[in-house]
Amino acid sequence: MAGNKPTPNYEVKDNLENRGLQVSRDNDTVETITVGVKDIDEAIFYYFNNVLKPQVTQNGGVINVPLVYSSPERWAAMQKDGYYRDKNGKMQAPLITFRRASLEKNRDLGNKLDGNNPQNFGIFTKKYTRKNAYDRFSILNNRVKDTEMYAVAIPDYVNIVYNCVIFTDYMEQNNY
């Protein structure tokens, strides 16, 4: 560079770069957590299979009742025929099917879209970590603690209604 004039090989840097946009999560150990509608459907599926564990007694044996998520087409076919058939056309019983009937936002728990003060995320500071353990030694030596901050998205609260149909061979199995 001659005489403070930029040459063609010299790149002029703008001093007004926004350092706030230069964020890297390469060494971050905190995972981004998301919960969607599919995750809620899978939680219902897990609850039926691993907590309730539905079973029926038939011919002296215990049969685990399978659980099937009903797509809209499958649900309409079951309502029309009165039973569920597998891909080979065989009627399935015992069986539990469920589907998501409705999903609506619940604005009573929180509304993040205020026209005067929209809050799509909240920023929280973690006070004590392994690096910032509370002890008097740090206070006596005037050590400045590191701050860990988390930007957490404010969730959309929803009410979800599920419909469930139970198919069994005998009424006493269904009552049980």
Tell me the residue range of the domain where 77 lies.
Answer: 30-107+157-175
Residue 72, pLDDT score: 78
Which of 62-66, 89-93, 167-171 comes out lowest in average pLDDT? Answer: 89-93
Output the average pLDDT for the chain. Answer: 77
Which of 8-22, 27-41, 56-70, 124-138 comes out lowest in average pLDDT? Answer: 8-22
pLDDT higher at 129 or 13: 129
170, part of any domain? yes
72, part of any domain? yes
165, part of any domain? yes
150, part of any domain? no
Strand, coil or helix: what is 49? helix
What is the CB neighbour count within 10 angstroms for residue 69? 14
78, part of any domain? yes
If one counts the domains in the chain, the total is 1
Left (φ > 0), alpha (ψ -120 to 50) or beta: where does 72 sit? alpha
129, part of any domain? no
Q: How far apart are CA 6 and CA 13, in angstroms?
A: 11
Q: How far apart are CA 138 and CA 127, in angstroms?
A: 14
123, part of any domain? no
Note the maximum CA span of the chain. Answer: 98
55, part of any domain? yes
What's the predicted TM-score (pTM) here?
A: 0.59
* pLDDT beyond 50 at 22: yes
